[in-house]
Amino acid sequence: MWSNDSGATSSLVYNREARISGFYLLISLITSAKTQLQALKSPIFDFSPKILLRYNQTITLSTNITMPDATATTTSTTANNASGLVLYDIAFAKPYEENMAAPNPWKARYALNFKQVPYTTEWVQMPDIAKVRQSLGIGACRKFADGKDFYTLPVLKDNDTGAVIGDTVDIANYLQNKYPDAGAGDLFPEQDLGFVCPGAVEILVPLSVRDDDSIHPDYALFNTNVDWAFTLHCQLTGSGMKWDPEVKDQVEEEFARRAGVKSFQEMCVVGEARQGLLDSLQKTLKDLAAMYQRDASGPFLLGAQATYADIIVGGWLRMFCKATEEGEWEQIAAWYDGVFGKLHTALSTSFGTVR
């Protein structure tokens, strides 16, 4: 497992978690999915030997990537960000609210809207994420196997306090501490969060490394297991990502480079293999769905009361809703008496505003 080595010294900089976001790990996990799905005893689909043989190369690639435009580009939703909270999110194709599909930024956005606190958004192009994060003085939230930094979003900056938070769980904790009674209330009430992703094998790349699990450890562990469950199947979303046309080719070429294939299209799964992956996702989410069926008073784990645990799941549901192929989200939303569709609708309606 890798440890966080951001080098951040300010007490206002929160970067406790070196987390693998399923979105950012998409390409690495594509190359290891056959191994992982065997562990899950799921339908197996075949990858070309080239992809499988290059897995070790993929996870040890350097992040020292040359991209055009040395100046990081962000687009703000307002003209004045001198005060208040600023969420740094990934710029997909416009309109952003229709196409944004990264799960972890959605976790942060749902939490901000849950607390009903004012904030603005800075939209960051994929090639500029490292430069923007470095400009904010916060280290990478994960590393490649060779120890090189791999920079991801979201980041939350509080211009009123100087705090810069670079991890989703820490962002939610920061909001809960600063605004304990705001909005819909407590993000972290006590509850049973015993979901364990089936197939408890050692994943080839760590999902989570924290140097301090004392802050809501049950939620942090739940986050890891939910991340694992969806990440193992995120190949379903690769072809559905809608990138800004100005950087689309760059992004797809870089993803293909990391996977050691000639083109992004080589990584797409189709036909029986794709249905097998959908079937595997359904089986993997069975126990999680059962947790949502315990309280019929509402769509959340605690019935009518939403919590950060629901937001954790909701970030992934948003990704699969936006980035899977036609008709697949409707299947997922209908599984297990529609618990995931109901959860997604409730979160989107109550906390899905894009500012």
pLDDT digits (tens, 9 = 90+) for 205-242: 444 444 455 589 999 999 999 999 999 998 899 889 99
* Region of poorest pLDDT, from 2-16, 244-258, 309-323: 2-16
Query: What fold does the segment set 13-351 form as a domain?
Result: Glutathione S-transferase Yfyf (Class Pi); Chain A, domain 2 (1.20.1050)
* Region of poorest pLDDT, from 16-20, 149-153, 316-320: 16-20
Is pTM beyond 0.85? Reply is no
Six-digit token pair at 85? 């909270």
Question: How many of the other CB atoms lie within 10 Å of CB of 191?
Answer: 17
pLDDT at residue 263, rounded to an integer: 86
Extents of the domains making up the chain: 13-351
* Region of poorest pLDDT, from 107-116, 192-201, 310-319: 192-201
* Residue 294 CB contacts under 8 Å (≥ 6 apart), including other chains: 301
pLDDT at residue 238, rounded to an integer: 86
pLDDT at residue 160, rounded to an integer: 95
Average the pLDDT over 35-56 and give the result: 34
Please answer whether residues 141 and 15 qualify as being in contact, where contact means their C-beta atoms are separated by less than 8 angstroms: yes
With bands split at pLDDT 50, 70 and 90, how would you rate the model's confidence at 267?
A: confident
pLDDT at residue 301, rounded to an integer: 99
CA distance 191 to 24: 29
Peptide bond into 154 cis (omega under 30): yes
SS3 sequence, the chain?
Answer: CCCCCCCCCCCCEECCEEECCCCCCHHHHHHHHHHHHHHCCCCCCCCCHHHHHCHHHHHCCCCCCCCCCCCCCEEECCCCCCCCEEEEEECECCCHHHHCCCHHHHHHHHHHHHHCCCEEEEEECHHHHHHHHHHCCCCCCEECCCCCEECCCCEEEECCCCCEECCHHHHHHHHHHHCCCCCCCCCCCCCCCCCCCCCCCCCCCCCEEECCCCCCHHHHHHHHHHHHHHHCCHHHHHHHCCECCCCHHHHHHHHHHHHCCCCHHHHCCCHHHHHHHHHHHHHHCHHHHHHHCCCCCCCECEECECCHHHHHHHHHHHHHHHHCCCCHHHHHHHHHHHHHHHHHHHHHHHHCCCC
Per residue in 114-132, pLDDT tens? 999 999 999 999 999 999 9
Residue 225: strand pairing partners: none
Please answer whether residues 299 and 244 qualify as being in contact, where contact means their C-beta atoms are separated by less than 8 angstroms: no
Mean pLDDT of the chain: 78
Please answer whether residues 155 and 6 qualify as being in contact, where contact means their C-beta atoms are separated by less than 8 angstroms: no
Q: Which residue has the higher pLDDT, 1 or 19?
A: 19
pLDDT at residue 75, rounded to an integer: 61
